[in-house]
Each structure stands twice: as C-alpha cells, then as structure tokens.
Structure 1
C-alpha cells in the first residue's frame, strides 16, 4: 500500500495561491490512484496551530507535506518531531526565503502552473531521504537559523506590517522585498545595548562575548540565509552543529545579503565558528527570530536563550 500524504497549506504563501498549488498536487495524485482523502488530502493551516495540525496529521498519514515558506516548514517539522512516529516531511516551497528547500536541492520557489509539479511529486512519492536537525531555543523549534539583533528587529517590523490590513498588499513579491528594505532602513541605527555572553555546552571552550554595539548574532544550520545569501560553506543541516557568526559592523552583514545575487562577493569582517549549542546571557529585549519568523511574542521577557538540538526529521529530497 502506498504511503499516505497530507498537505498542510499556508493560505497566504505563494502570493495567496498556495491553495491552487496544493489542489493541483491532489488532482495529479488522484490520477495516480490516490483515490480518496484517506490516501491524499489537504488542510489549510491556522495561524499559531500548524504544529498541532501537523501532530494530528501524523496519526493518520505517513508523509506530511508543508506547502508554504520556511516558517510553515519549521512548524510542520516541529509537529512531526513532537509526534515521535517517524513520519516523513515533504516540502513544496512557496515562501520568500525557502532556504531549507534550496539547501536540500528541492526547489527555490514554486508558482502555480510553472511546470515544477511533476518533479515535486516525484520527490514526494520517492524514497530518497535526508535527515535534518531540528533545534530549540527556549522550547521553540527551528530548522534553518536563529538571529539576534538587527535582522530580528527587521523581521519583527515586517511581521507587524504583514499583520495589519496593509499587509495584504505584501502578497506581491516585489512589494515584500521593498518592505523588507524599508524596515531595514528604519533600523539602520540598531545596535545591541549590552554585551551578550555565550556559554558553550560540555566544555566546548571558553565563553564568547558579543560586545555592546554589535549588530547581529546568527546561528545557522544551513549554508544559506535570508533567501539564498551564502552565509557558510561549512554548515550542514544534519551534523549536529550550528555556525555562529557575529557581525560587529553593519557593512559585512549587508554584503552577505548581496550574495543572494552575487554568490562570489566577499563579505569578510565577521567572526565565525561552529558550536553544538549555547546559552546566551544578557538579552535586554526579545529581538530574536527563527527561520524568518518573529519570536518577540513567544520569548517576551526572556533574558537568557538556551539553544540545543531537539532531534531530527527525515525530509523527502531529490
């Protein structure tokens, strides 16, 4: 009996057309013998409940497919991990970043009718798997990266724009990019108000100090960051390590972002090392994001961040 598929669809992804993409997938599966909802079905996600929906789907289906961006993938992966039933994660990337999908060679972005569906279904129905680490910060899971500082403040401001009625306009990719730029300009003066101290687990070395006035602290699980920026050639999603990058100045961070379009552009001037987790002390405000999703709400009041590997999920890959 073929393994059963369940598509969790973020309705605002893909410029609001994620539902069309998922319905096309279901139609094609019906033609391949997946005749009923017991074999292949979809559900629209609810804000703040994707992990719960993913856990519930694991009780009835074998392959849980995230149809959306990196935040949707993160929440579905979290649900699979918490369910503990060994279900497989599929990805149809429809966000603005899609860094996990990019790193695994699945696709950079899918659009309705762009001819990629047959290839994606071959991946979703195939048997090639890649283990991916799922990390935890104060109990909140992430797969791609964690940011503290300037970039997190930009993500927070963008999320607020997206959350008000004007955010409906952000369904355009161009307008979304422009809004990110405007949020960045608004926060150009942002600096860490106090030094941060990072303690490494298990005698992993002396503590690391991020000085006051620094711009951004990144912990990355992938070679890519922020929609394809080349943050690290050494990072691997399954090695139990994160790449720690500290940007004391803004210029190297902005150059890093430009590697989305110019991959060979040098952006030196940031300290990097690999770690297996850490505790971050000295936080004065919850300017933190995970996989491009604002965590100022879930981490409100936190003065310490505890980052550790929570487990792994199996992802369907080409």
Structure 2
C-alpha cells in the first residue's frame, strides 16, 4: 500500500503563548495513521499560501497549523491547483471562528485524531474580486478589529482583544452608502456592517444559527445591518443581533451565491480576519465544494 504524504504548514507566530508539546502529539497521531510527514514553518505573510500552491500538489493531505488567517492562506494556495489535495486544520490561533463552525477541537491531538479517521467533508470557497476566503468577507463596524488587533494581544487575550479593538471603532461608527445586488435582488442603502459568510461565527462576536448554515450548498449567508434612523431603531437592531433574530425588521439576511457591492466611499474589508483594501466595486462569488477537508 502506497504511503500517504502529508505537508504540515505551521505558523509559528499564531497562539505563541501556547505550549508546542500538543503539536508533537498531533504529529505522532498522524504518523501512526500512516502519513509520512513534512513540516514547513512559515517565515512571512503570504508564505503559507505560496508553499501550499507550490508544494501542495505533491501531497495527499495539507494541514494548516495556526489561526484562521493561516487556514485562509493555505486554502488560497490550494484552490489555485487543478486538483487540490485534502485539507486539514489544527487550530492554534486566538479566535478560530471557522474551527468552531466545523467543530474542530482546539486540542491538536484530538483534531489530528479526527483527521486520521479520514472522513471527508466538502466546503464551499468564496472569491472576493478573485481573492479567496473560506468563511467570511465583512465590512463596516468592528471589521477593522479583526485585522487591527496586535498579534501579541490576540495571543494573550483571544476574543477579548477583538472586543477591545472593536470598542475603538465605536467613536467612528458610521454608515456606508452602498449599491448592493444579491442574486436578482437590489438592496441599495446605508449600512453599518455587512458580512458574507459560510460560518456560524463572525469575529468571535456574532453568531449565526447552525441550523441555517450549510457549508457545501453553494450559498453564502449574507447579513446587512442598516444604519438606524432613530434611537429606537438602534435598540431594535442591537436586540436582534444579540438574540440572533436575523429575520427581524431592520436586519437583512439572505442566502445567496453571488453579491455585487458598489460604493464611492473608503470601505476596507476583512477576509477571514485579514485586511483587504477598499475598492469601488466588489464581486463575491461562491465556488461550490471547492475544497475537501478531513474533519
């Protein structure tokens, strides 16, 4: 029987305060499952993506070790291959939103044992003007905190680092005038926040009902938060968000496969927690079942 080859791409900066011992346990689990392991330690932003693109085709399985940003990079490299290998994930970041959606254990040995069971799960992949993302593309309120919180703070404080950084955005909370086409529907208006996601958690702050999120159906979950006109409107919006009442009057929640957003304003984005600069037109597309993970 041919021995299966595994490439482990490790971000040494992710979750730096965590013990590395469990990673050795995870490597042992995968080795015992019959994989011949190679390990690549990333040296700079973009290294994980380039390594996955350059080397991934020679392996049966590529495992991302780090936070959601590392997973995003590895996935972005693999989707450029004609026949991507299987993808695995050992979460070592501070928030690990997508791991929560996938129910991947935060314990590396347990996550490795799940990979070793060799149960594939297909996942949709999003493309933001051609740049891939796995679980969320967002703009507006609190989006900046997902990429602006310093790595040291993320490692030490986890979710709380995002909340602290997000509080700074309250002073600059502002609506953005957008022209939105979601499928065949026009939703032009002023919005405080928007997310196009394939996940049950956004930034560790906002949750979506797992019963309403299917990760391989070719559809995104789109949430738009309109700018409130009155204090009562604001109170209603906050109540709806806190209680996951996304069909409430005021919020806009849709299942869509493609979205086009146009604006004349400076509107930066976050893709899986990584910064994306403002552009006048954003085209978001869903590649159904673009990757297969072992979970």
TM-score class, shorter? 0.7 to 0.9
Q: Which has the higher strand share?
A: 2
Distance 1:243 1:123, change over 3 A: same
Which runs of 5 or more structure 1 residues have no equivalent in the other structure?
A: 111-115, 163-167, 259-263
Q: Is the 8 A contact 1:11 1:18 kept in 2?
A: no
Count of residues in Structure 1 that have an aligned counterpart in Structure 2: 283
Deviation at 1:129, TM superposition (A): 0.8
Q: How far did residue 72 of structure 1 move? A: 1.0
Provide the aligned C-alpha RMSD in A: 2.7
For residues 194 and 104 of structure 1, do their structure 2 counterparts lie closer, same or farther at Cα, with a shift above 3 Å needed?
A: closer
Q: Which runs of structure 2 are paired with 1:200-279 in the superposition (5 Å)?
A: 200=182, 204-211=183-190, 214-227=191-204, 229-232=206-209, 233-248=211-226, 249=228, 268=248, 269-279=250-260
Residue 169 (structure 2) aligns with: 187
Deviation at 1:132, TM superposition (A): 0.5
User: 1:252: how far off?
Assistant: 6.8
- The corresponding residue for 2:269 is 288
**TM-score (normalised: structure 1):** 0.79
Map Cα deviations across residues 131-156 of structure 1 (whole Å, 9 max, x no partner). Answer: 11111101211111111111222234
Q: If the length of structure 2 is used for normalisation, what is the TM-score?
A: 0.84
Structural mapping, 1:71-90, within 5 Å: 71-90=69-88
Q: Return closer, same or farther for 1:254/1:2 CA change in 2, 3 Å cut-off.
A: farther
SS of the residue corresponding to residue 4 of structure 1 reads strand
Once residues 209 and 290 of structure 1 are traced to their aligned partners in structure 2, the CA distance between those partners, rounded to angstroms, is 22
CA–CA distance in structure 1, aligned partners of residues 239 and 9 of structure 2 = 35
Aligned to 1:306: 283
Task: Tell me what 1:102 maps to.
Answer: 100
Encode CA deviations 1:266-299: one digit per residue, 9 max, x unaligned: 575522111111110015224210112222xxx3
Provide closer, same or farther for how the CA distance between residues 90 and 253 of structure 1 changes in structure 2, counting only shifts above 3 A. Answer: farther
In structure 2, C-alpha distance between the alignment counterparts of 1:56 and 1:69, rounded to whole Å: 21
Does the CA contact (< 8 Å) of 2:135 and 2:272 recur in 1? Answer: yes
Distance 1:197 1:253, change over 3 A: same
Structure 2: distance between partners of 1:314 and 1:33: 19
CA distance in 2, matches of 1:245, 1:62: 36
Query: Is the CA contact (8 Å cut-off) linking 2:29 and 2:116 kept in structure 1?
Result: no
Q: Is the partner of 1:83 in helix, strand or coil?
A: coil
Gap change, CA 1:206 and 1:251, over 3 Å in 2: same
Matched residue SS, 2:185: coil
